[in-house]
């Protein structure tokens, strides 16, 4: 299934709706950092995101160390940001 890259206007509108996400330097991804009380809380969050991601068939690039999680969303098929990223980011925002 092909997916198209967001226009700049769509990108700006999406970022305005998201909580704490920012555009990566190259404009092809959005990123957000999350901080929790400890590892169990952080990994619990990751587990919820993993289930969301799998259900949306769209997966994050993410890094964890102890209580911190950094998530990057991009759409390789679009070589940049697409509505899939915005949809997943919004769902992640609802978890926290």
Phi, psi of 68 (to 5 degrees): -110, 140
Minimum Å gap between C-beta 87 and a copy of itself is 17
Nearer to a copy of itself among residue 1 and residue 65 (C-beta): 65
Neighbours of 58 (CB within 10 A): 20
> In terms of DSSP H, where are the helices of 18-82?
39-56
Q: How far is the CB of 52 from a copy of itself (least distance, A)?
A: 12
Return d(Cα 74, Cα 46) in angstroms, integer: 17
Residue closer to a copy of itself (CB basis): 62 or 90: 62
To a copy of itself, the closest distance from the beta carbon of 13 in angstroms equals 27
Interacting residues toward a copy of itself by CB under 8 A: 39-40, 43, 46-47, 50, 53-54, 59-66
Strand partners, 53: none
């Amino acid at each position: 299934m092909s997916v198209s890259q967001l226009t700049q206007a769509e990108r700006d509108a999406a970022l305005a709706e998201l909580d704490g996400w920012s555009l990566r330097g190259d404009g092809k991804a959005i990123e957000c950092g999350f901080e929790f009380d400890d590892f169990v809380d952080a990994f619990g969050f990751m587990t919820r995101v993993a289930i969301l991601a799998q259900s949306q068939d769209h997966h994050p690039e993410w890094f964890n160390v102890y209580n911190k999680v950094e998530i990057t969303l991009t759409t390789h098929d679009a070589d940049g940001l697409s509505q899939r990223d915005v949809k997943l980011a919004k769902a992640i925002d609802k978890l926290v």
